């Protein structure tokens, strides 16, 4: 046995005996075993995933929780997957307006050929670079990680990052989403039985686990080669699936089956253009080449979406990042075709003079118009706001964050707060070097965000309070990656109680060992005005302990922008039940999912709609959630799941 694998097996065996109760105790145990192998030259500390796959099936079941990494990722009931698109010019750069003065990255940037607004140092960007920005490879890579953490990521929530996605060619948008969904479908076919049981032997054989020390790069390349072989095959066809199984899992695999697929084998790490060419032109050519050489037109997006409705791994939510001038009706309709359910909009500021000074390329009016249109199409809205921009003061920033909720024209469902940071290659970097700009410090940013929490309503979720950019990639600004912890400390000192969804959802209460009473759930209804019409936040919560188990967002549209949405329609923009993710179709003692909470919330929404004279419910549903709504009497109509209330 390989010495590294042997050490992993010994750690698993010792864990069974000593039962460490924390990650600290587990790390001490790892070091103890490694000391016994020093003579063999073994110095690399095994990851929890290495131990997980070196353990026996019985050991894996017993040790799953301790070896499961980052359970907070699935604590809200879904498995998020950040999916980075190719480096591509942003729209207002092509117009000669931008990029934004603070925006890093993009083709030909100081950080290299990376997506606009990113540095190449973020975890999701690094993963994309390793996989040549191929959505099929990235999804397989991420699903592999989830299984390696002891999780079944059957309810996947995709977040498409990488700049203004709706500015990409329509064909690329469809290609990107199509292959992300196909990866989920193919992963399900390769490694799961029809009843949802994972075949761990097949999984370990395909991904060559446990790892061999010193051969990780070789392992990754071999996996990528396998995936390129099957990326454009229709594994829905029995003969294709059988031959793929023979190739990857048979005793005498043969490569003859793939001899006619050479056109797909040399695309990894391919480059288009030359050093003297305009980087934006090179990026556009790269996209064109990828569409020409890697997109199997015989596999349609609609076909892949239909298959994902009943796949083991399903896409229950799809988020797309964009700017408000590329978030109007035309773009909203395109996003609906892709299966998008949530839109992240870079609001950045509520002050026109700030947007203009930073070359944002859109106005406050654009932001407000886009939010209204997208809400009336049923999308959830996740607004990005950036304190510390040029021309602003701390008071302006706090008032701006307050304005997001005081002003009905905004009122986003979710919020990401990104304090402005200075990064090399931007115009702001030059202003900072010349003493013309001073960014917020960590302390100042934390104070603004803590105070802003006083004004965040119970129907909004604060998703993030900082960009996922390591501090070594920034020149100045917030210099700590744990800004949320600083904010929480200030909130405690000032007795500020945040009422946002994230701070109240049940999974975090359980994680922090706070009291939760499932039998104490009540249905509450909060009605408010947003973007010229009524919104209803229908929640299942334990009021005594201030715990949120789930909620339903319902909206009466202010404009009727599609034929599915009539004057008698009510829009369900979100239905979410929290706590640790439970596999589709199964109950879990560790989860509150699949216990009827979602159904009760939906019935209450239907009741409110009838009381207000509505005769139709229109749900913007994730592709993988359509089966759930079918069981409750809904049918697919256009881009939505609908139900006649008459």
**Same structural domain for residues 44 and 81?**
no
The secondary structure of residue 333, as a DSSP letter, is H
| Residue 332 within any structural domain of the chain | no
Residue 235 has pLDDT above 80, yes or no: yes
For range 589-612, the mean pLDDT: 85
The residues with which 159 forms a beta bridge, in sequence order, are: 82, 319
Q: Among 48-57, 215-224, 239-248, 605-614, whose mean pLDDT is lowest? A: 48-57
**Same structural domain for residues 44 and 161?**
no
Angle at 95 between CA 93 and CA 97, to 5 degrees: 60
Residue 260 has pLDDT above 60, yes or no: no
Q: How would you class 563 by CB atoms within 10 Å of its CB: exposed for 0-12, middle for 13-18, buried for 19 or more?
A: exposed
For range 587-592, the mean pLDDT: 54
**Same structural domain for residues 587 and 606?**
yes
Output the pTM of the full model. Answer: 0.90
Percent of the chain with pLDDT over 90: 70
**Same structural domain for residues 2 and 150?**
no
For range 83-104, the mean pLDDT: 90
What average pLDDT does the chain have? 89
**Same structural domain for residues 515 and 579?**
yes
Residue 636 has pLDDT above 60, yes or no: yes
Q: How far is CA 529 from CA 135, 410, 526, 555, in A?
A: 38, 10, 10, 9
Q: Would you place residue 645 in the very low, low, confident or very high pLDDT band (cuts 50, 70, 90)?
A: very high
CA dihedral (168, 172, 174, 179) in degrees, to 10, reads: -130
| Residue 329 within any structural domain of the chain | no
Q: Would you place residue 269 in the very low, low, confident or very high pLDDT band (cuts 50, 70, 90)?
A: very low
**Same structural domain for residues 33 and 115?**
no
pLDDT score at 579: 62
* Among 469, 504, 539, residue at a domain's last position: 504
Residue 91 has pLDDT above 50, yes or no: yes
**Same structural domain for residues 515 and 637?**
yes
More confident residue, 269 or 440: 440
Residue 361 has pLDDT above 60, yes or no: yes
| Residue 566 within any structural domain of the chain | yes
Q: What does the alpha-carbon distance between residue 388 and residue 385 come to, in Å, rounded to a whole number?
A: 10
More confident residue, 627 or 508: 627
Identify whether 290 is preceded by a cis peptide bond (ω within 30 of 0): no
Q: What does the alpha-carbon distance between residue 220 and residue 208 come to, in Å, rounded to a whole number?
A: 9
pLDDT score at 47: 79
How many domains does one find in the chain? 4
**Same structural domain for residues 466 and 582?**
no
Q: What does the alpha-carbon distance between residue 231 and residue 234 come to, in Å, rounded to a whole number?
A: 8
**Same structural domain for residues 549 and 491?**
no
Neighbours of 110 (CB within 10 A): 14
Q: Would you place residue 584 in the very low, low, confident or very high pLDDT band (cuts 50, 70, 90)?
A: low
Question: Which strands make up the sheet holding 522-530, listed edge to edge?
Answer: 522-530, 533-542, 547-555, 569-577, 616-619, 640-644, 635-637
Give, for 541, the enclosing helix (H) or strand (E): strand 533-542
| Residue 327 within any structural domain of the chain | no
| Cβ neighbours for 286, distance < 8 A, ≥ 6 positions apart | 86, 87, 271, 272, 273
CA dihedral over 105, 108, 109, 110, signed as positive or negative: positive
Write out the residue range of the structural domain in which residue 49 sits: 1-69
Q: Would you place residue 262 in the very low, low, confident or very high pLDDT band (cuts 50, 70, 90)?
A: very low
| Residue 273 within any structural domain of the chain | yes
- Give the three-state DSSP class for 323: coil
Give the model confidence (pLDDT) of 306-333 as tens digits.
999 999 999 999 999 999 999 999 999 9
| Residue 328 within any structural domain of the chain | no
**Same structural domain for residues 259 and 199?**
yes
Percent of the chain with pLDDT over 70: 89
Give the model confidence (pLDDT) of 68-78 as tens digits.
655 555 556 78
**Same structural domain for residues 158 and 275?**
yes
* Among 16, 42, 69, residue at a domain's last position: 69
* Among 454, 472, 504, residue at a domain's last position: 504
Q: Would you place residue 252 in the very low, low, confident or very high pLDDT band (cuts 50, 70, 90)?
A: low
**Same structural domain for residues 475 and 516?**
no
Q: How would you class 522 by CB atoms within 10 Å of its CB: exposed for 0-12, middle for 13-18, buried for 19 or more?
A: exposed
The CATH number of the domain where 510 resides is what? 3.40.630.30
CA dihedral (16, 20, 26, 31) in degrees, to 10, reads: -70
The secondary structure of residue 86, as a DSSP letter, is P
| Residue 570 within any structural domain of the chain | yes
Q: What does the alpha-carbon distance between residue 363 and residue 369 come to, in Å, rounded to a whole number?
A: 10
| Residue 275 within any structural domain of the chain | yes
pLDDT score at 514: 73
């Amino acid at each position: 046995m390989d010495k590294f694998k042997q050490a992993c097996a010994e750690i698993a065996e010792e864990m069974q005996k000593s039962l460490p109760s924390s990650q600290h105790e587990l790390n001490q145990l790892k070091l103890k075993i490694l000391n016994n192998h020093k003579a063999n030259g073994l110095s690399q500390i095994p990851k929890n995933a290495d131990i997980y796959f070196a353990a026996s099936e019985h050991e894996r079941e017993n040790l799953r929780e301790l070896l499961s990494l980052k359970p907070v990722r699935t604590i809200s009931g879904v498995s998020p997957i950040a999916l980075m698109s190719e480096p591509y010019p942003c729209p207002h750069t092509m117009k000669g307006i931008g990029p934004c003065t603070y925006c890093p990255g993009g083709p030909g940037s100081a950080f290299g050929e990376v997506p606009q607004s990113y540095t190449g140092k973020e975890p999701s960007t690094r993963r994309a670079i390793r996989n040549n920005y191929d959505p099929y490879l990235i999804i397989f890579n991420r699903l592999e990680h989830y299984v390696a953490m002891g999780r079944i990521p059957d309810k996947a929530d995709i977040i498409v990052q990488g700049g203004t996605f709706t500015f990409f060619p329509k064909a690329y948008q469809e290609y990107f989403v199509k292959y992300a969904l196909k990866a989920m479908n193919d992963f399900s076919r390769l490694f799961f039985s029809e009843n949802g049981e994972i075949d761990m032997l097949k999984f370990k054989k395909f991904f060559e686990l446990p790892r061999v020390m010193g051969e990780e790069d070789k392992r990754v390349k071999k996996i990528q080669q396998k995936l390129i072989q099957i990326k454009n095959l229709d594994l829905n066809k029995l003969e294709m699936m059988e031959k793929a199984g023979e190739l990857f899992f048979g005793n005498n695999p043969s490569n003859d089956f793939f001899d006619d697929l050479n056109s797909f084998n040399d695309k990894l790490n391919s480059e288009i253009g030359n050093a003297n060419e305009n980087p934006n032109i090179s990026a556009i050519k790269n996209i064109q080449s990828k569409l020409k050489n890697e997109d199997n037109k015989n596999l349609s997006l609609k076909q892949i979406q239909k298959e994902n409705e009943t796949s083991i791994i399903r896409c229950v939510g799809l988020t797309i990042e964009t700017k408000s001038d590329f978030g109007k009706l035309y773009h909203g309709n395109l996003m609906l075709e892709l299966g998008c359910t949530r839109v992240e909009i870079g609001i950045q500021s509520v002050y026109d003079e700030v947007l203009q000074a930073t070359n944002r390329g859109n106005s406050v009016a654009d932001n407000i118009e886009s939010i209204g249109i997208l809400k009336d199409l049923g999308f959830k809205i996740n607004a990005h706001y950036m304190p510390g921009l040029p021309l602003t003061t701390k008071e302006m920033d706090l008032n701006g964050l307050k304005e997001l909720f005081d002003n009905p024209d905004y009122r986003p469902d979710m919020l990401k707060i990104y304090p402005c940071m200075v990064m090399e290659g931007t115009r702001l970097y030059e202003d900072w070097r010349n003493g013309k700009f001073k960014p917020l410090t960590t302390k100042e940013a934390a104070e603004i965000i803590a105070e802003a929490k006083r004004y965040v309503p119970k129907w909004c979720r604060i998703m993030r309070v900082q960009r996922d950019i390591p501090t070594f990639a920034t020149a100045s600004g917030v210099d700590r990656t744990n800004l949320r912890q600083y904010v929480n400390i200030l909130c405690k000192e000032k007795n500020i109680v945040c009422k946002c969804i994230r701070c109240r959802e049940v999974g975090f209460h359980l994680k922090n060992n706070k009291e939760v009473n499932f039998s104490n759930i009540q249905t509450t209804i909060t009605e408010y005005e947003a973007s010229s019409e009524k919104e209803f936040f229908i929640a299942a919560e334990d009021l005594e302990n201030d715990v949120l188990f789930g909620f339903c967002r319902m909206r009466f549209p202010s404009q009727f922008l599609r034929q599915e949405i009539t004057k008698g329609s009510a829009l369900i923009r979100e239905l979410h039940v929290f706590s640790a993710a439970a596999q589709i179709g199964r109950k879990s003692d560790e989860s509150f999912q699949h216990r009827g909470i979602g159904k009760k919330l939906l019935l209450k929404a239907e009741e409110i709609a009838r009381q207000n004279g509505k005769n139709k419910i229109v749900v913007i549903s994730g592709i993988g959630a359509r089966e759930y709504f079918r069981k409750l009497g809904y049918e697919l109509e256009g881009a939505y799941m609908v139900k006649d209330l008459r």
